[in-house]
Chain A
Amino acid sequence: MKKFHINHSTHIHAEQSTSQLVQHYLIALLPLVLFAFFKNGIFPYMKGLSGIYDLFLPLLIIGVSVLGSFLSEFGYLWIRQKIKKEPFSFTQFWEQTYFYLPGIILALLFPLHTPLYLVLLSSVVATLVGKMAFGGFGKNTFHPSLIGYVFVMILFGSVIASSGGSFSALEVSNGFTQTPIEMMLATDGIGNYPTFVAPFTRMLNFVIGMVPGGLGTTSAILCLLGFVYLIVNRAIKWKIPVFYIGTVFVISYMIGAYQGLGLWYSCYQVMIGGLMFGAIFVASDPITSPTTPIGQILYGITLGILTVVFRFVFPIELGVALSILLLSAFVFAFDIVGSRARFQFSVAMAPFCIAWTCILLLGVYIGTTYPTTPIPVVEEEPEEVEVEPLRQEYQIVSDQIQAPYHIYEVLDSTSSGNYTLQIYTLDHTISSLSLTSHAETEETYQAFMSSNYLGQIIVNQAHLEQLQPIPNMELSSAVKDTVEQFYQALQLL
């Protein structure tokens, strides 16, 4: 009898494996890493504003962060293996701990001028406290990167700010002193296009990311590109970012509408403060987010509500990071609701109703408690308008009705003397025009008549401002002006 191997699972498998999922995340992050290098390193260097150290600083931060994750995770496992005498294989560590992913995400969150020792400290804290204390890869409750980031930003925020914050040499030379989120929070969210967007030139800069902020978190378009890539490869819980960003968008739109601001305001709100990056790459992290579809939707909505609260009610710069960090402690609750909701429609609907009510209330509450007229309006200097010397108005000498025409005789003058125009009108339009008397030289008169300028005036009577007068002939411009004024008066009859 032939013997066979035993396999308790299914005998065919879907292709995608965990390591492929992580690879997809890395590929999606790659444009952001490159962008961080270009924006913070290459551009200032090319303009001759920074040295060779600053050129490679972005990459250095990423390198140090990944190195910190590697050392701490490897060290932890190595020491534990020594103490507990557990088997330890380096290949397994290399292939299955994915230490580099939180390292890269952490580095992209930091401001450019974060001292390297703080980056290292942060990535060590991220790995040891955020990951290993919970039992390693796959068991952590909170996103390790957020633990490290929030830890350093809260304790050493002032150190980072004093060493230059997020402003690259190029941004300093452009005169930036605040990041968009700082600027928004400084005015409690009150402002308008000139105060929010104009300092960074135009909206497009937010889309491509040429504004100060986290190392690699500012580019909305590259975040979205990564998002699309992850969706196409089925490597992301797409519901979380969609509903997270969507909720912030909707509430911001309501607030903006109360302040009389347009759609640009909600677009602006979702592109600042690292929201795009946080929603797409951090909030959707599989380990620290709900597994059930409805749980994911509710999680996204709640994150959006929390972030708005952190922006408008308790203004905190780390709003996005804190919302995700706080809420990931309650992932189990979202999963309970989500798993029940699969069987029972009412269980699914109730939280949605609550969520929508929250969104509505929050939008109305913040919207109405804010002043409807934006306070800090940048006053525009009034443009100097060249005032033309007023010309003497024409006189209507006579008017008579000769059915179906109404004939006017109009007197006006040039520098050489008066002239009279006879105007036939029919139903608010000029149907015929003749120069009955004038004080010009015979030459001018002949030139004027032979140019058929009067005919042109009749043809273009409705838009005479576009008709050019005959060069070097005062009579033509005078007649044109007269008829223009007359025509306007005629319309009012």
Chain B
Amino acid sequence: MFFTKIPSLKKATEKKKIKIAQRPNYVYIPLINQNDENITRLVKKGDYIYKGQSVGRRKGNLRIPIPSSVSGTVVGFEEHTYLNGKKVKCVVIENDFKEKTERRLGVKKDLTKFTKEEFIERLQEMGIVGMGGTGFPTYVKYNTNKKIHTLIINAVECEPYITADFALLKEHVEEILEAIDAVMEICHIDETLIAVKKENTELIELLSNFVGTYLKMKIAPVSNRYPSGWEKGLVYQLKRVSYQVTSVERGIIVSNVSTMYAIYEALKYHAPLTERVVTFTGEMLKDPQNIQVKIGTKVSELIETIGGYHKGDDLYFVAGGPMMGKSLPDDDLVVSANLNCVLVLPKQKEQEATTCIRCGKCVEHCPAKLSPVLIARAKGDVKKLQKLQADRCIECGLCSYICPARINVREKVVEAKKLLEESSE
């Protein structure tokens, strides 16, 4: 696979330790999972809820609870911005700072002493979702009768600026490896590959100090280029197999490092997914940091605690990385389990799009082997789009990144993709 070299831009936060955020007065737990707002509310105004108690549950096949990250009283429901830019209903909880949990279930000494059923139930109960960006319920991946031979741990973080996974690994490498070992034991997995960028020698060195203890784990250095952390590309790079919908069909599970840490806490301490590490960075933030935050915290409050913005009017506020992240009109963003980065950038020059000169760079660089220029020129002709397989787009943004005419090619391809999805329904 031919990925594209893009600058890493991680300098601002890559050496920084995880900073623990101040405990918020209020949290706003978004009632959404994986862009699905079809959530059953389990609380009403005035309820007292414990930390980790479910405030909602996703309906349908992918049932997953949404845990509260603090203990306190539900004071109402408000709409706040989710990382995809939409306003989403959130449960507002006034924090009583007691961190009370409903039951005390004790610490599990040996993580491997779970049956597969117990393990899957635990993942579901604790609301563990993919923390790399999708927010897909993790238990669904492991809940398969197929023989899983390989577990791939995604620690690539191929998007520029983001260092959340890197910071987490540096501080919790032992816990994460313990969790991986347990998952391998429970699910009878033969081998684990920890995918790390080749250029990230610091991480490779750190991991190699610990991995020796675990016989079935290997460090797998992968391409430095973008998007080498893309699941399909990662599986192809490491195992030379491709798949249609999920990697499970080829006996491979890919999990993010942060998710693995959440699994560790769920198994060891019976702790639901209530916190995560988010990278706050960008040229226009005074003090870029990796911050461990409670889910539901307002990003504007967090940014104030780290010194706020640099002066300037023409700023961009991005939820996510610089390639795939969404630019938002205000900082009314709440932290969700799949938010890995908040980026504040200065206004760029030369934004205006000019005429396409058919240079073919978008075609050359598309990791999904699409022909974005042709998709854009098909102008909504469904038949043509089907033949061009526009629905394969992974929205990585390379076409927009590389375009010399500064055309937002991705937007056009995503529109085409949506059109195809609508027409097939």
Q: Which residues of B contact A (CB under 8 A)?
A: 6-7, 9, 160, 300, 309, 314-318, 322-325, 327-332, 343, 345, 347-348, 350-351, 354-360, 363-364, 369-371, 373-374, 387-389, 397, 400-406, 408, 410-411
The interface centre, meaning the residue of A10, A291, A338 with most chain B CB atoms within 10 A of its CB, is: A10
A10 to B160, CA, bound (A): 12
In the bound complex, residues from chain A placing their C-beta under 8 Å from that of B356 are 138
The residue in chain B whose Cβ has the minimal distance to the Cβ of A9 is B408
A230 shortest CB reach to chain B, Å: 12
Pair B410/A21 contact, Cβ less than 8 Å: no
Query: Are the C-beta atoms of B300 and A12 separated by less than 8 Å?
Result: no
Point out the residue from B331, B348, B350, B371 that lies within 8 Å of A339, measured CB to CB: B371
Please name the residue on chain B nearest to A342 by beta carbon.
B369
Are A12 and B330 in contact (CB-based, < 8 A)? no
In contact, B322 and A12 (Cβ under 8 angstroms): yes
Listed from nearest, the 3 A-B pairs whose CB atoms lie closest are A138-B355, A291-B360, A9-B408
Q: Which residues of A contact B314 (CB under 8 A)?
A: 5
Taking CB atoms and an 8 Å cut-off, the chain A residues in 285-320 that contact chain B are 286-287, 289-293, 296
Q: A1-B300, A12-B7 are in contact. Are A291 and B330 (CB under 8 A)?
A: no
In the assembled complex, which residues on chain A have CB atoms less than 8 Å from the CB atom of B343? 11
Chain A residues with CB under 8 Å of B317's CB are: 2, 4
> Is A403 positioned at the interface, with any CB of B under 8 Å from its CB?
no
Structural contact, B316 and A5, CB atoms closer than 8 A: yes
Instruction: Say whether A293 contacts B357, CB under 8 Å.
Output: no
Contact A11 B329 (CB under 8 A): no
Q: 11 A–B contact pairs at CB < 8 A?
A: A2-B331, A4-B317, A6-B328, A10-B397, A12-B6, A12-B323, A21-B357, A96-B355, A291-B359, A338-B371, A339-B371
User: Is there an interface contact between B363 and A16, defined as CB atoms closer than 8 Å?
Assistant: no
The residue of chain B having its C-beta at the shortest distance from the C-beta of A137 within the complex is B355
Task: For residue B398, give the distance in angstroms from its CB to the closest CB of chain A.
Answer: 8
- A1-35, CB < 8 A from B: 1-14, 16-18, 20-21
Question: In the complex, which of the residues A138, A296, A339 has the most CB atoms of chain B within 10 Å of its own CB atom?
Answer: A339
- Interface residues in A273-295 by Cβ distance below 8 A to B read 286-287, 289-293
A291-B363 in contact (CB<8A): yes
| A139 CB-CB contact with B under 8 Å | yes
Contact call A13/B406, Cβ cutoff below 8 A: yes
Task: Report Cα–Cα, A7/B328, bound state, in Å.
Answer: 8
* Residues on the B chain within 8 Å of A237, using CB: 359-360
Contact for A4 among B160, B329, B397, B403, CB less than 8 A = B329
**Distance in angstroms between the alpha carbons of A2 and B348 in the assembled complex:** 19
A339 in contact with B388 given A2-B309, A10-B323 (CB within 8 Å): yes
On whether A292 and B357 interact (CB within 8 A), knowing A4-B315, A7-B316, A16-B404, the answer reads: no
A20 CB contacts on chain B under 8 angstroms: 404
Query: Which of A's residues lie within 8 Å of B, judged by CB?
Result: 1-14, 16-18, 20-21, 96, 136-139, 237, 286-287, 289-293, 296, 335-336, 338-340, 342-343
Query: Would you call B404 and A4 a contact (CB within 8 A)?
Result: no
Q: Contact between A5 and B347 (Cβ–Cβ < 8 Å)?
A: yes
A11 contacts B323, CB within 8 Å? yes
Report Cα–Cα, A342/B390, bound state, in Å: 13
Q: Contacts A2-B330, A12-B160: A335 and B374 contacting too (C-beta < 8 A)?
A: yes
The residue that B404 contacts in the complex, of A17, A290, A292, A293, with Cβ under 8 A, is: A17
Q: Is the CB of B9 within 8 A of A12?
A: yes
Query: B357–A1 contact, CB under 8 A?
Result: no
B-chain residues with CB within 8 Å of residue A8 when the two chains form the complex: 327, 408, 411
CB < 8 Å neighbour of A6 from B309, B327, B363, B410? B327
When the two chains form their complex, are residues B358 and A9 in contact, meaning their CB atoms are under 8 A apart?
no
How far apart are the CA atoms of A4 and B332 in the complex, in Å?
A: 11
A289 neighbours in B (Cβ, 8 Å): 358
Within the assembled complex, what's the spacing in Å between the Cα atoms of A334 and B160?
Answer: 36
Question: Contacts A21-B359, A138-B357 known; A7 to B374 CB distance under 8 Å?
Answer: no
Check if A17 sits within 8 Å of B330, measured CB to CB.
Answer: no
Residue of B nearest to A296 (CB): B360
Interface centre among A5, A96, A293 (most CB of B within 10 A): A5
Contact B405 A18 (CB under 8 A): yes
User: Residues of B contacting A336 with CB < 8 Å?
Assistant: 387
CB distance from A370 to the nearest CB of B (A): 38
Contact of A291 among B323, B373, B410 (CB under 8 A): B373
User: Which of A4, A17, A290, A293 lies in contact with B327, CB distance below 8 A?
Assistant: A4
Knowing A1-B331, A2-B309, A289-B358 touch, does A11 contact B318 (C-beta < 8 A)? yes
